[in-house]
Amino acid sequence: MPSTAELQLTPDGRLRHFLTTEGLPASLMTEIMDRAAQFLGDTPRDLRKLPLLKGKSIVNLFFENSTRTRTTFEIAAKSLSADVVNLDISTSATAKGESLLDTLKNLEAMGADLFVVRHNQSGAPHFIAQHCTPNLAIVNAGDGLHAHPTQAMLDMFTIRKHKGEFANLKVAIIGDIRHSRVVRSQVHALAGLGCRDIRLVGPGTLLPRQGLAGTLFDQLRPGIEGVDVVICLRLQNERMDAGLLPSEAEFHDSYGMTLDRLAWAAPGAIVMHPGPINRGVELDSALADSERSVILDQVTNGIAIRMAVLSMVMGVKMEALA
């Protein structure tokens, strides 16, 4: 069985698939961000539309609902002039008992060039990448509790735009660390890009048992003191066992971000959230709507990052973007 690096990268070190940020070279993460910057226009929320994937077919293969992620991938693909198909899993053959491998082979026979895969089982995009034909590219749009690499890269891009390089930054990630695939991809990306102060903050029941770089804090104030970036995570209620969290109100009382609490961070610290926000739980509305919040910037950056990833796994060279 090939390693993730062997599966994800070509022999000359280019992106073959995009499955995880774990072990991804800093040079490739930087290239993704640099390319995304080229897709952004002269004004905020303005994206270039280019014919780089004209004639290519991209299938959004979502076995798990996510309107936000699917929509941004669709906009990204159409901005590159690709043809896009959104597969309705509720009426697909997999809902009728067909295996994932059989579904894959049938879709391959229809001539798709790239699958964007979201699945509630960890490892599903890797399985598809292992078994797909050589001319098909796979992009992971979130799998189980494992990874969400494009979300991590749009977060890295947003941080770089507002705070510069990563080596001297202090970043705190707050909330449901244990059940979040986003945080795993964020931590791997931050560490890979040279960030040396990564803090994971939350109640002990929602902190990871092992396997993630970073310093654990079960109290908010010491966890965010002096940080440059605060990333709030959505509480993954649908993935929690009973009893891990007394109530959302108690979580907000102890760990919810407010403008007053942001004063504990470094001057000019920014606040991020992968969405969707539970207002009054992870952070309050006054902070979410303030100038310190870059949450809407993340959304626009997400389209640009996904344009970059789609074009890179399809082999489009940098000079084609000129």
Q: Which helix (H) or strand (E) holds 79?
A: helix 67-79
Tokens of 101: 């491998």
Residue 121 among known ligand-binding residues: no
CA 95 to chain CA mean position, Å? 26
Q: Are 136 and 112 in contact (CB under 8 A)?
A: yes
Q: Calculate the alpha carbon distances from 244 to 131, 206, 217, 311 in Å.
A: 37, 7, 17, 41
Q: CA–CA separation, 137 vs 134, rounded Å?
A: 8
Q: At what angle do helices 149-163 and 181-192 cross, to 10 degrees?
A: 50
Residue 111 among known ligand-binding residues: no
Q: CA–CA separation, 277 vs 257, rounded Å?
A: 12
Q: Calculate the alpha carbon distances from 92 to 38, 61, 116, 123, 184 in Å.
A: 37, 10, 16, 20, 30
Residue 317 among known ligand-binding residues: no
Residue 149 among known ligand-binding residues: no
Residue 68 among known ligand-binding residues: yes
Residue 181 among known ligand-binding residues: yes
Q: Which helix (H) or strand (E) holds 231?
A: strand 229-232
Residue 118 among known ligand-binding residues: yes
Residue 69 among known ligand-binding residues: yes
CA 120 to chain CA mean position, Å? 15
Q: CA–CA separation, 228 vs 164, rounded Å?
A: 11
C-alpha distance across the termini of the chain, in Å = 39
- Binding positions for carbamoyl phosphate: 68-69, 118, 148, 151, 275-276
- Binding positions for L-aspartate: 96, 181, 234
- Binding positions: 68-69, 96, 118, 148, 151, 181, 234, 275-276
